[in-house]
Amino acid sequence: MTTSNSSNKSGPSTLVDRALKAWHDRGLIFVRFANGHEVSFPTKGNPRLEGAEEVDLGRIEISPFGLHWPTLDEDLSFAGILEGRYGQHGRVADKA
């Protein structure tokens, strides 16, 4: 996951920042928060996002708590994304 900031504030907080925009570009999902931060993560490794059609990857719905791809039946929370958990194969939690 990568983050960038166009403001002087600290990183996004899922309690106070809201996502303004989410989009897909060349194998990455990007999220822009109201505080100016952007985060991105790869679709590779996520069993529902990896290999999905471009049109389906671009159909991202934003909720107060995360992202939803209705045609892919995938939901990712902002808290999880910011912690580096975005549905990838072989997560530590899956091995426990």
Tens of pLDDT, residues 24-82: 999 999 999 999 999 999 999 999 999 999 999 999 999 999 999 999 999 999 999 99
Give the residue among 7, 6, 17 at the shortest CA–CA distance from 82.
17
Give the residue among 11, 15, 48, 41 at the shortest CA–CA distance from 27.
41
Fold of the CATH domain 2-8+17-95: NE0471 N-terminal domain-like (3.30.2020)
Task: Name the more confident of 81 and 90.
Answer: 81
- Residue 53: the pLDDT is 97
- Residue 94: the pLDDT is 42
pLDDT band at 88 (very low <50, low <70, confident <90, very high): confident
Tell me how far the alpha carbon of residue 84 is from its chain's centroid. 9
- Between CA 51 and CA 62 the distance in angstroms is 21
Please give the structure tokens belonging to residue 39: 């985060």
- Residue 95: the pLDDT is 38
> What is the pTM for the complete model shown?
0.78
- Map out the domains of the chain as residue ranges: 2-8+17-95
Task: Name the more confident of 4 and 50.
Answer: 50
The CA–CA distances, whole Å, from 95 to 53, 89, 90, 92 equal 29, 10, 7, 5
